[in-house]
Amino acid sequence: MGAGTEPAEARCDAAEGRVYLDHNATTPLAPEAAQAVQDAMHQAWGNPSSSHPAGRKAKELISSARESLARMVGGRPEDIVFTSGGTEANNMVIHTACRHFRESQARPGDSWGTPHIVTSSVEHDSIRLPLEQLVKESLAEATFVAVSPRSGRAEVDDVLAAIRPTTCLVSIMLANNETGVIMPVTELSQRVHALNQQRAAEGLPRILVHTDAAQMIGKGRVDVQELGVDYLTIVGHKFYGPRIGALYVRGPSTTTPLHPMLFGGGQERSFRPGTENTPMIAGLGQAAELVSKNWEAYEAHMRDVRDYLEARLEASFGKQRIHLNSHFTGSKRLCNTSNFSILGRGLQGRRVLSRCKMLLASVGAACHSEKGDRPSSILLSCGIPHDVAQNALRLSVGRDTTRADVDLVVQDLVQAVAQLDQDQAP
């Protein structure tokens, strides 16, 4: 984990005297993944659909990457469909669930009504916004289950209570990008599976289960057999891979429905046509190999550095002045994520970051960075008071973050807050 393994980007930041602690937004490309991308560009430039050697070389690389991704999540290679990223994978699941609901009606003229989808109030926009759009167009109904302010989780009983006869999909993220709270997806899948057996006897539609695992991969155990889900979203740039993704589907079109959103040349078994992006797929496969081999070491290292960060914050500012927004009784959280507020007037997260000379971090999800000083809706959903949520900072450590980096960051925060306190002084 030493300096020798640092990605080029991390070294570059260090040279500029900056410390990057925004790994939940994106990660630098692992050198091994960057090498795989480069090698594929030079050596596997053929069209994977061509039968000559240049095409076969590209096709072999794609097959190898598919195996690597399957191994990483405990699935089979045929269960992996490459996509442009997490947003496309999430939209594909929602599209599939609604279409499957309509096509499953026993006889022409039968109608179960409008498809209904259950999700949580803290999902990524690539789940929330497609659902809101479908609701607006009267093509679906959606329930956004509030997370418990006690646990920060979407509780299984609350999710099940939202299910209706017309429910066709339950989509709950594996871990939240802002708080790091890990959701009870395994238990949820077990309960939905039992419910589906009951529903089948009653002639009701099957409920499909999806989890967006963007934040969990590379930071903890992800095993689709253990999770019991039908779909799982994989996002390369969250685990030191390139900016493409994949969707795990438990037996696409056999055990579990999958409907394409695009139509074209038949690539990816027609689930996701378009000439494959061989270099990025090769890079994704290499990033997956690193996760399979090293995730336990990554997790232990990041947890150690994150815990050290929280201890240093409390020691430097005093326990009374630090509110740990991601500490919920009985809930597990991602090993690398610390969401906290430095309490005091005029210490909004954005203002604190603007006075930092070294720290590169965010106040929440990168996708919401244009929302000014409004506190994170996710923190408010978790029961964090408005004035505390407004001061929130989300620091997410990476594979190469050291305790020395943490010391620099805490010093930087101390000087930033001192400046802002001085500005407030009469």
Residues 144 and 128: beta-carbon distance below 8 Å = yes
| Percent with pLDDT over 90 in the chain | 90
Residues 341-354: what's their mean pLDDT? 97
The predicted pLDDT at position 2 comes to 42
Detail the DSSP E strand segments found in 101-250.
116-120, 141-145, 167-171, 208-212, 231-235, 245-249
> DSSP per residue over 340-362, as a string?
EEE-STT--HHHHHHH-SSEE-B
- Enter the DSSP assignment of 174: S
- What's residue 426's pLDDT? 75
Cα(286)–Cα(32) distance, integer angstroms: 7
Residue 355 CA to residue 357 CA, distance in Å, equals: 6
DSSP code for 382 = T
Instruction: Give percent of the chain with pLDDT exceeding 70.
Output: 93
Tokens of 49: 């659909």
Which range among 64-78, 190-204, 278-292, 355-369 shows the weakest confidence by mean pLDDT? 355-369
The three-class DSSP label of residue 277 is coil
Q: What is the pLDDT of residues 239-263, one digit of tens each?
A: 999 999 999 999 999 999 999 999 9
Return the pLDDT at 4.
Answer: 41
Max intra-chain CA distance, the chain: 77
- Tell me, what's the pLDDT at 112? 80
Cβ atoms 216, 56 nearer than 8 A: no
Whether pLDDT at 10 is above 50: no
Average pLDDT over residues 284-300: 98
308-321 pLDDT, tens digit each: 999 999 999 999 99
Q: How far apart are CA 386 and CA 383, in angstroms?
A: 9
- Place 5 in a pLDDT band, splitting at 50, 70 and 90: very low
Give residue 424's pLDDT band: very low, low, confident or very high (50, 70, 90): confident
Average pLDDT, rounded, for the chain:
94
Q: pLDDT-derived band of residue 6, with 50, 70 and 90 as boundaries?
A: very low
With 80 as the cut, is the pLDDT of residue 370 above it? no
Other Cβ atoms within 10 Å of 417 Cβ, number: 21
Integer Cα distance of 21 and 359 in angstroms: 7
Tell me how far CA of residue 172 lies from CA of 124, 142, 190, 331, in angstroms: 10, 13, 14, 16
According to DSSP, the residues that pair with 19 across neighbouring strands are 359
pLDDT band at 109 (very low <50, low <70, confident <90, very high): low
**Residue 387 Cα distances to 238, 342, 370, angstroms:** 30, 11, 19
Considering 168, 356, 367, 382, which one is annotated as catalytic? Answer: 367
pLDDT computed for residue 311 by the predictor = 98
Q: For residues 243 and 352, what is the distance between their CA atoms, to the nearest angstrom?
A: 30
Location of structure tokens 């996708």: 367
- Residue labelled with tokens 């395994």: 186
Q: In the predicted model, is pLDDT for residue 368 greater than 60?
A: no
**Predicted local distance difference test score (pLDDT) of residue 170:** 99
Question: Residue 157 and residue 184: Cα distance in Å, rounded?
Answer: 11
360-388 average pLDDT score: 82
Residue 155 pLDDT > 80: yes
Query: Is residue 116 within 8 Å of 142, Cβ to Cβ?
Result: yes
Per the annotation, the verdict on 168 as an active-site residue is no
Across the range 100-110, mean pLDDT stands at 75
State the pTM of this model. Answer: 0.94
